[in-house]
A and B are shown apart, each in its own frame.
Chain A
Amino acid sequence: MSLREVLTPFTAWKHVLDAPVTIPDPIGREAAERYRGFHQNDMETCIGCGTCEAICQNGAIDMVPVEGQVTEKGDSGLRPMIDYGRCCWCALCVDVCMTGSLTMSNEYTWVDTDPDAFRFIPGLEEPWKDKEAGYRREGGRELSGTKRSHMGELAPALRGDNFSEICAGFTREEAILEADRCVECGLCVATCPAHMSIPDYIAAVRDQDYDRGLQLLYETNPFSEVCGRICTHKCETSCAALHEGDPIAIRWLKRHIIDNVPMERRLELVGGAKPANGHRVAIVGAGPGGLTAAYDLAREGCAVTVFEALAAPGGMMRYGIPEYRLPYDALDRDVAVIQAMGVEIRCNMRVGRDIALDDLKRDHDAVILAIGLQMGRGTRIPGSEGPGVEKAVDLLRRITAGEDVPVPERVVVIGGGNVAFDIARSMARLQKATHGTVGVTLTALEDRAHFLADAEELIEGAEEGVEIIDKRGPQEVMRDASGAVTGLRSWAVTSIFDDQGRFAPAYDQADERVHEGAMVIEAIGQMADVSLLGAELTEALDWNRGRIAIDAGFRTSEPWLFAVGDAVKGPDVINAVADGHRVAQSVMERVSLQEGIS
């Protein structure tokens, strides 16, 4: 050992004069920009989906009601409460958050004598509530998929001249990918009028358990072939996934389940009806409202007869919705399961013409009206009476029925809703097949951004050659000397509603156009044909703004008579289904009550 090695260590003394490196008062030291400190939650963007709770590996998060947060469509009204006795600051809750509302501030000192203070709801009054610095996930939501899975579709060139179904439905791989994105929060269930067990049947797709999936579908909806294709799918507008990506394709997943269970298996899984209970129920109209009620009542053991005016069951599902969106055989499969429950459907039986409503009343314990809205509304503009002007629903019905409909080279459609597109695109197909070209002009009051029709109708319609002209108010159907229709005269729309929000379109008369066409089709709404009631019953019933009045149980003011579907409420198949269940329940209550009396 050299002397040097004895002396060198003493060089350390040189630090004696250094300023201390310690921070004298560490309280208040600002943490780094992305430090994972106390939580923050933007109460307005939070939707209470509970995904943060689901991912928390410490079980530190509870979802709790918070004053001021309302439970409404797409928002459970719950908010996360965090137990800092358990939190490990991993921020998986932040990463997984569906809306990005949950973040962390870089605040990390908090002193309190009350241990329960550390169980807190971020987003209320905490001092770091609005602090900018802190952990936010980089990029978008990465822990659950944001992009909708691909689904095959017929290309415009292949579908323009025929009524083949456009959507192919998911393949298994596509469906599993899509089902994987669901976080099972269940916010959608409240929005679905039938409150279908959406997260559960999506889980069944993930697990590739189609039997379970089918059973779940049938618990709430006997029209999954139909709804899996054409449902208005409002559920998807309250899906948690839409906040930073595409909502889950709930509708297509439903269709995927039903596509994967063959008919015989469906009947096995659904099971038979209860033994006959001796009650007889008549239903007028074989649309989704009537048939859903029929399904439930038949399963309960009632003898159910459905009287349908047209040649085949289905109502607007068959005679309104075009085949390229909903093929008839898909509808037939749903109807077949209903018939298998013992429901008798008597077609070509228009009540009020082929059989009287009174007869039904006499022979049954209860009668349900499910007659829908069969008559198209007219615009009543000059020239709209007479040949060459058609109602959309009439034309659609005739197309389904296979009747000859005139197919001029140029057609003008009035209306911007889904029905208008259905007829426009149907006529476009017929034109293409007949003339090789498409000449459909669709005019609507609304501007493009506010069309009532679904966005994909505008896209697909345009792809198929429909000319879409927005902000046009129809003024006159033009006719030549012989009276033949030559076109539609329209003015530009300046506003649709007045200051009070009432429907009162205003026009710029200087901006006038004539849309050429040998046929004008009105697609501006439908109304019910209640002539079957007869004068006496019409008089006796309570009415509500032109519709038969009903209570929450779909009972009319006449104890034996119930009413459901578009005729009294609407507006779509899934509502008709949901209400079909409810009316069936009311009918069961009534007939069991009668049983008690007799």
Chain B
Amino acid sequence: MRDLHANLKTRHALGPFEPRRANLGFVTVPAERLRGLLTELRDVHGFTHLVLLTAVDWMEDGLFQLTYLMNDRAGDRTLGVRVMLNRDEAVGEDMHDLWPTAATYQRELKEMFGIDFPGSPRVDEEFILEGWTDLPPYRRDFDSLAYSQQTYAERPGRVTHDPRAHMKSKLYPEG
């Protein structure tokens, strides 16, 4: 994998290689180099299998990370290709021509993270949610607890006690 990285590094402006296991590593690539890298990985180096495509929200850094997990079955190698997108205007590049399944991932990412993939088939169609109007729910700033508290009623009658405070009230209320 290190050899592969050395081979691709300058051509695709790759970041440092981050090995995880002997057969798994990660690398970051500038968005504009993504298509070239994925195509070469697929067509030249045996990484024909797009295992998954998903996003990670690094809200604090104002970034979305897209992860394309690429697998070379014969060589038992998996490479995680990362692309960092500006979170405010998150637009990724459509890859459905390379893997038709990418369209599904991209549709989900649009819905769940609000990352757009112009040109991806049916990217605006609802995928999992129906009539959703709130923030894309997999964004870190979508508070699922608050949402559920607003949306669903708590069953009344539940009270709990903190052991430490309870002991104080019982044993030394004066302090």
Provided the pairs A71-B170, A85-B155, A190-B168 are in contact, do residues A63 and B175 lie with their beta carbons within 8 angstroms? no
- Contact of A49 with B163 in the complex, beta carbons under 8 Å: yes
Contact of B172 among A61, A119, A190 (CB under 8 A): A190
Question: Counting chain A CB atoms within 10 Å of each CB, which of B157, B159, B170, B175 scores highest?
Answer: B170
Q: Chain A 182-199 against B: per-residue CB contact (8 Å), 1 yes, 0 no?
A: 000111011000010001
B164 within 8 A of A: yes
B59 within 8 A of A: no
A199 to B158, CA, bound (A): 26
Q: Chain B 133-156 against A: per-residue CB contact (8 Å), 1 yes, 0 no?
A: 000000000000000000000010
A53 within 8 A of B: yes
A189 to B163, CA, bound (A): 10
Contact of B164 among A65, A72, A85, A185 (CB under 8 A): A185
- Contact of A71 with B166 in the complex, beta carbons under 8 Å: yes
- Contact of A186 with B167 in the complex, beta carbons under 8 Å: yes
- Contact of B161 with A185 in the complex, beta carbons under 8 Å: no
Contacts of A78 in B (CB 8 A): 161, 163, 166
Contacts of B175 in A (CB 8 A): 195
A305 within 8 A of B: no
A83 to B157, CA, bound (A): 11
Provided the pairs A186-B162, A195-B175 are in contact, do residues A71 and B167 lie with their beta carbons within 8 angstroms? yes
A53 to B155, CA, bound (A): 18
A502 to B133, CA, bound (A): 78
A71 to B172, CA, bound (A): 11
A83 to B166, CA, bound (A): 21
B10 within 8 A of A: no
Q: How far is the CB of A37 from chain B (nearest CB, A)?
A: 22
A64 within 8 A of B: yes
Interface residues on B, range: 10 to 19
- Contact of A76 with B159 in the complex, beta carbons under 8 Å: no
The chain A residue with its CB closest to the CB of B167 is A190
Question: Counting chain A CB atoms within 10 Å of each CB, which of B160, B162, B166, B167 scores highest?
Answer: B167
A315 within 8 A of B: no
Contact of B163 among A85, A116, A185, A195 (CB under 8 A): A185
Contacts of A119 in B (CB 8 A): 157-158
A301 to B61, CA, bound (A): 48
B128 within 8 A of A: no
B171 within 8 A of A: yes
Contacts of B162 in A (CB 8 A): 50, 63, 186
A77 within 8 A of B: yes
- Contact of A76 with B166 in the complex, beta carbons under 8 Å: yes
Contact of B160 among A62, A71, A72, A185 (CB under 8 A): A62
A50 to B160, CA, bound (A): 10
Provided the pairs A71-B170, A77-B170 are in contact, do residues A189 and B160 lie with their beta carbons within 8 angstroms? no
- Contact of A83 with B163 in the complex, beta carbons under 8 Å: no
Q: How far is the CB of B96 from chain A (nearest CB, A)?
A: 37
A388 within 8 A of B: no
Contacts of A186 in B (CB 8 A): 162-164, 167
What is the interface size of chain A, counting residues whose CB is below 8 A from a CB of the partner? 25
Provided the pairs A190-B172, A195-B175 are in contact, do residues A63 and B155 lie with their beta carbons within 8 angstroms? no
* Tally of contacts, chain A with chain B, CB under 8 A: 63
Q: Chain B 91-108 against A: per-residue CB contact (8 Å), 1 yes, 0 no?
A: 000000000000000000
A372 within 8 A of B: no
Q: How far is the CB of A203 from chain B (nearest CB, A)?
A: 13
- Contact of A187 with B160 in the complex, beta carbons under 8 Å: no
Interface residues of A in 48-75 (CB under 8 A from B): 48-50, 53, 61-65, 71-72
- Contact of B163 with A63 in the complex, beta carbons under 8 Å: yes
A315 to B66, CA, bound (A): 66
Q: How far is the CB of A98 from chain B (nearest CB, A)?
A: 11
A263 to B151, CA, bound (A): 53
A187 to B175, CA, bound (A): 15
Question: Counting chain B CB atoms within 10 Å of each CB, which of A65, A116, A187, A189 scores highest?
Answer: A189
- Contact of A189 with B161 in the complex, beta carbons under 8 Å: no
Interface residues of B in 93-135 (CB under 8 A from A): none
The chain A residue with its CB closest to the CB of B158 is A62
Contacts of A71 in B (CB 8 A): 166-167, 170-171
Provided the pairs A77-B170, A195-B172, A195-B175 are in contact, do residues A189 and B164 lie with their beta carbons within 8 angstroms? yes
Q: How far is the CB of A555 from chain B (nearest CB, A)?
A: 15
Provided the pairs A85-B155, A195-B168, A195-B175 are in contact, do residues A187 and B163 lie with their beta carbons within 8 angstroms? yes
- Contact of B167 with A64 in the complex, beta carbons under 8 Å: no
A190 to B172, CA, bound (A): 8
Q: How far is the CB of A532 from chain B (nearest CB, A)?
A: 31
A72 to B171, CA, bound (A): 8
Contact of A187 among B157, B161, B164, B172 (CB under 8 A): B164
Contacts of B159 in A (CB 8 A): 62, 64
Q: How far is the CB of A583 from chain B (nearest CB, A)?
A: 14
Contacts A63-B161, A71-B166, A76-B164 supplied; 13 other A-B pairs, CB < 8 Å? A50-B163, A64-B161, A65-B166, A71-B171, A76-B166, A78-B163, A83-B158, A186-B167, A187-B164, A189-B168, A195-B172, A195-B175, A199-B164
A and B contact pairs by CB, cutoff 8 A, 21 listed: A48-B163, A50-B162, A53-B160, A62-B158, A63-B160, A63-B162, A65-B161, A71-B170, A72-B171, A76-B161, A76-B163, A76-B164, A76-B167, A119-B157, A187-B163, A187-B164, A187-B167, A189-B164, A189-B167, A190-B167, A195-B175
The 6 closest A-B pairs by CB, nearest first: A186-B164, A76-B163, A62-B160, A71-B170, A190-B167, A50-B163
